């Protein structure tokens, strides 16, 4: 079937006439090279990520994992000196083509950051924000989506009686789940998480990890983490990056029990460097 729009993502909300058939490769990078000015930060990255899976990106600081994560929803576009070569396909469509609507892209590929970053608004308005800026005016619809998103983010029971209170009154873990709810509200099909639990205590971390496990039924999730145990607990597949290269990508169980590359083994077992 011919795609009739500039950027097509299946998932919960179809933006175009793409077939309903299950797409196995949700995200695919083909020979991706990225530069900050002269600094070559991603080198010949080839990777295919299946839909409804959790993929962990691991590697030492500066290895390129966060840069690569941010290439997947074009967050690096904000950096003037950033330059990318190669292709990044989402459901077969090159997201770096000129005609791609980047706002629409980021709506479908949501992002959760290291530090919870709620807006200085009420809990309700934080979740409703995305809908409002995308032009949704139906009050009832907004209320429904806010509730559904908070339920999906496992936060509804904790905040349902204080929706009109400031989001800053929530704990760090609750704020992070609020940010996840805010991401879910605009119906993404992919969620990128950049160290989403690194600033949280163990209980809040466990909640985020449980949530990731539940969300993968409906979303493709990619998580950058420095916590090896977290990568092994939450992900189906793990990609190990080092000095801008994708050293190894495979099933998490294989990576953590029998990696094929010595470099991977040295990193995950703490012998790196």
Partner 1 sequence: MSNLEIELQALKENLLEMMELVSKQIALCSEATITGDLAIAKQVVENESRVNALELTMDKDCENILALHNPVATDLRFVLAVLNITSDLERIGDNAKSIAAFLIKNSKKLDKNYIDKYGIAEMYETSISMLTCLSEALKKDDAELARKIFKEDKVLNKKNKNGPKVAVALVEADPKQAKLIVRLLAVVNKLERVGDLATNIAEEVVFHVEAKVLKHNKDKS
**What are the residues binding partner 1 (CB under 8 A)?**
228-229, 232, 256-259, 265, 268-271
Which residue, 60 or 172, has its beta carbon nearer to partner 1? 60
Q: What CA–CA distance (Å, rounded) separates 224 from 202? A: 17
Which residue, 7 or 256, has its beta carbon nearer to partner 1? 256
Q: What CA–CA distance (Å, rounded) separates 241 from 41? A: 11
Burial annotation 221-255 (CB, 10 A radius, 16+ → b, else e): bbbbbebbebbbbbbbbbbbbbebbbbbbbebeeb
| Beta carbon of residue 228, minimum distance to partner 1 (angstroms, whole number) | 7
| Beta carbon of residue 226, minimum distance to partner 1 (angstroms, whole number) | 14
Half-sphere exposure of 166 (CA within 13 A, CB side): 5
Nearest to 115 by CA among 199, 224, 208: 199
Which residue, 218 or 227, has its beta carbon nearer to partner 1? 227
Which residue, 135 or 270, has its beta carbon nearer to partner 1? 270
| Beta carbon of residue 229, minimum distance to partner 1 (angstroms, whole number) | 6
Which residue, 30 or 228, has its beta carbon nearer to partner 1? 228
Which residue, 99 or 271, has its beta carbon nearer to partner 1? 271
Q: What CA–CA distance (Å, rounded) separates 266 from 251? A: 18
Which residue, 241 or 256, has its beta carbon nearer to partner 1? 256
Which residue, 3 or 228, has its beta carbon nearer to partner 1? 228
| Beta carbon of residue 242, minimum distance to partner 1 (angstroms, whole number) | 16
CB 192, CB 73: distance < 8 Å: yes
Structure tokens at 88: 């990044």
| Beta carbon of residue 269, minimum distance to partner 1 (angstroms, whole number) | 5
| Beta carbon of residue 209, minimum distance to partner 1 (angstroms, whole number) | 15
| Beta carbon of residue 194, minimum distance to partner 1 (angstroms, whole number) | 23
Q: What CA–CA distance (Å, rounded) separates 17 from 209? A: 34
| Beta carbon of residue 256, minimum distance to partner 1 (angstroms, whole number) | 5
CB 155, CB 178: distance < 8 Å: yes
């Amino acid at each position: 079937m011919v795609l009739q729009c500039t950027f097509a993502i299946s998932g919960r909300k179809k933006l175009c006439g793409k077939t309903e058939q299950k797409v196995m490769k949700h995200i695919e990078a083909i020979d991706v090279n990225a530069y900050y000015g002269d600094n070559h930060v991603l080198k010949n990255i080839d990777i295919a990520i299946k839909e409804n899976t959790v993929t962990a990106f691991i590697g030492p600081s500066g290895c390129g994992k966060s840069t690569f994560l941010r290439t997947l929803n074009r967050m690096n576009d904000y950096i003037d000196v950033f330059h990318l070569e190669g292709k990044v396909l989402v459901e077969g469509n090159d997201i770096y083509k000129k005609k791609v609507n980047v706002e629409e892209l980021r709506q479908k590929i949501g992002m959760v950051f290291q530090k919870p970053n709620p807006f200085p608004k009420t809990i309700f308005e934080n979740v409703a924000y995305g809908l409002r800026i995308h032009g949704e005016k139906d009050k009832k619809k907004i209320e429904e989506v806010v509730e559904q998103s908070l339920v999906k983010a496992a936060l509804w029971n904790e905040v349902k009686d204080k929706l009109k209170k400031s989001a800053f009154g929530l704990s760090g873990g609750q704020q992070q789940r609020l940010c996840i709810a805010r991401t879910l509200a605009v119906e993404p099909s992919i969620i990128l998480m950049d160290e989403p639990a690194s600033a949280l205590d163990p209980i809040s971390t466990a909640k985020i990890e449980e949530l990731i496990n539940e969300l993968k039924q409906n979303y493709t999730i990619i998580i950058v983490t420095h916590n090896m145990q977290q990568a092994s607990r939450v992900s189906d597949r793990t990609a190990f990056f080092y000095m801008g290269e994708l050293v190894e990508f495979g099933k998490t169980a294989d990576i953590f029990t029998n990696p094929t590359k010595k470099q991977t083994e040295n990193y995950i077992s703490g012998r790196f460097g």
